[in-house]
């Protein structure tokens, strides 16, 4: 049912952009209006959105929502439930957008319940927050930011146990970051869908790249790639968080500076330094708030340093060997 192209099964966060492009071709982009019912566009959105708000739901739970929205169609609930079940099994289980997640007892029967995976959570944010990948650049519509964040906050609350290092800390982030919390978090989450921009600090790019492409822990991939992808999600989030806190502080400060009567290069530089200091203070407060988070992130940075040093040593050896052979020719 609705199966014309198999979506790749991904095992690492660095593959997610390619997967989303496949999903765009198969089910339409996030900007698709009036999704069609005949090719799975409508069903995909219906299932993913319902599970974003309600983890561990049965196919009948999802079907009831559709039945109540379109009661005038006179379709029987069982018929809709069967379609939902077939669609999930044929199209969402293999690429691990959705997984079986326990049982619900109904009339003395054990009925399978479903939830989003880490990849499914990211795809829900991508699909319903009007984020679009165009020639490897991420766009988020400005007028949708309030709605975007309401959805991100909802899915973060529902799935805080899946990505606890990020989602379970939203309340604390808001307390520390203050007024710029929403913009900072939205921008940090959207960075998860694409390679870092060249305008952000080198250390952020290096840490993000290491988390996406090289980070691997044996215990995280024993049964499925979900724990690894959740960990990569969290690491890239924290790696980008500092620069996004600074960017949002600087953006607000620039507007204030532009309106002031004392616009000089000196005052601009002084404000920039203050913003960097404040961003650093906020980020350190977030990292140091939880000793487990602090140790986890410090261990990650140490692994990244060892990896980069090994790369540098290999390049230096290659350069040395190449230079010696060139001289002997």
Residue 325 lies in a domain: no
CA dist list (Å): 145 to 128, 135, 228, 247: 11, 22, 29, 17
Which one of 62, 91, 120 terminates a domain? 120
Of 138-142, 214-218, 232-236, which one has max mean pLDDT? Answer: 232-236
The answer on 186 and 305 residing in a single domain is: yes
The answer on 302 and 191 residing in a single domain is: yes
Q: What is the pLDDT of residue 298?
A: 95
Q: What is the total count of domains within the chain?
A: 2
In this predicted model, what pLDDT tens digit does every residue of 25-78 receive, in sequence order? 999 998 888 898 888 999 999 999 999 999 999 999 999 998 888 766 678 899
For every residue of 39-79, DSSP letters joined together read SSHHHHHHHHHHHHHSSSB-HHHHHHHHHHHTGGG---HHH
The answer on 284 and 172 residing in a single domain is: yes
Q: What is the pLDDT of residue 291?
A: 95
Across 197-201, 210-214, 243-247, least confident range:
197-201
The answer on 253 and 180 residing in a single domain is: yes
Residue 249 lies in a domain: yes
Query: Looking at residues 293-316, what average pLDDT do you find?
Result: 89
Residue 31 lies in a domain: yes
Query: Looking at residues 103-123, what average pLDDT do you find?
Result: 93
Residue 67 near residue 92 (C-beta atoms within 8 A): no
Query: Looking at residues 188-198, what average pLDDT do you find?
Result: 64
The answer on 223 and 114 residing in a single domain is: no
| Position 137 pLDDT exceeds 50 | no
Of 26-35, 183-192, 259-268, which one has max mean pLDDT? Answer: 26-35
Task: Count how many residues are written for the chain.
Answer: 329
The answer on 281 and 191 residing in a single domain is: yes
More confident residue, 139 or 94: 94
Residue 206 near residue 308 (C-beta atoms within 8 A): yes
pLDDT band, residue 266 (cuts 50/70/90): low
Across 164-168, 211-215, 282-286, least confident range:
211-215
> What is the average pLDDT value for the chain, to the nearest integer?
83
More confident residue, 219 or 150: 150
What range does the domain containing 39 cover?
Answer: 13-120
For every residue of 269-323, DSSP letters joined together read HHHHHHHHHHHHHHHHHHHHTSHHHHHHHHHHHHHHHHHHHHHHHHHHHHHHHHH
């Amino acid at each position: 049912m609705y199966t014309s192209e198999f979506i790749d099964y991904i095992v690492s966060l660095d593959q997610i952009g390619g997967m989303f492009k496949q999903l765009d071709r198969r089910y339409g982009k996030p900007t698709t209006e009036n999704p069609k019912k005949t090719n799975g566009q409508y069903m995909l959105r219906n299932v993913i959105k319902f599970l974003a708000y309600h983890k561990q739901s049965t196919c009948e739970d999802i079907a009831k929502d559709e039945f109540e929205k379109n009661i005038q169609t006179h379709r029987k609930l069982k018929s809709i439930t069967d379609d939902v079940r077939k669609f999930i099994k044929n199209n969402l289980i293999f690429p691990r957008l959705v997984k079986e997640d326990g049982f619900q007892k109904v009339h003395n029967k054990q009925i399978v319940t479903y939830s989003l995976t880490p990849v499914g959570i990211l795809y829900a944010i991508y699909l319903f927050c009007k984020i679009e990948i165009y020639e490897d650049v991420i766009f988020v519509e400005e007028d949708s930011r309030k709605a975007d964040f309401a959805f991100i906050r909802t899915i973060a609350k529902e799935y805080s146990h899946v990505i606890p290092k990020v989602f379970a800390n939203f309340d604390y982030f808001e307390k520390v970051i203050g007024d710029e919390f929403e913009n900072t978090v939205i921008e940090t989450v959207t960075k998860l869908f694409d390679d870092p921009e060249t305008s952000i600090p080198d250390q952020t790019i290096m840490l993000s790249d290491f988390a996406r492409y090289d980070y691997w822990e044996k215990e995280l991939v024993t049964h499925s790639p979900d724990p690894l992808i959740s960990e990569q999600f969290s690491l890239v989030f924290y790696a980008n968080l500092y620069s996004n806190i600074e960017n949002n502080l600087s953006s607000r400060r620039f507007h204030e500076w532009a309106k002031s009567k004392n616009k000089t290069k000196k005052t601009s530089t002084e404000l920039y330094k203050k913003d960097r200091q404040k961003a650093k203070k906020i980020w350190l407060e977030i990292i140091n708030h939880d000793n487990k988070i602090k140790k986890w992130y410090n261990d990650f940075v140490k692994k990244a340093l060892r990896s980069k040093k090994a790369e540098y040593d290999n390049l230096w050896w290659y350069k040395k060997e190449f230079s010696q052979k060139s001289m002997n020719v």
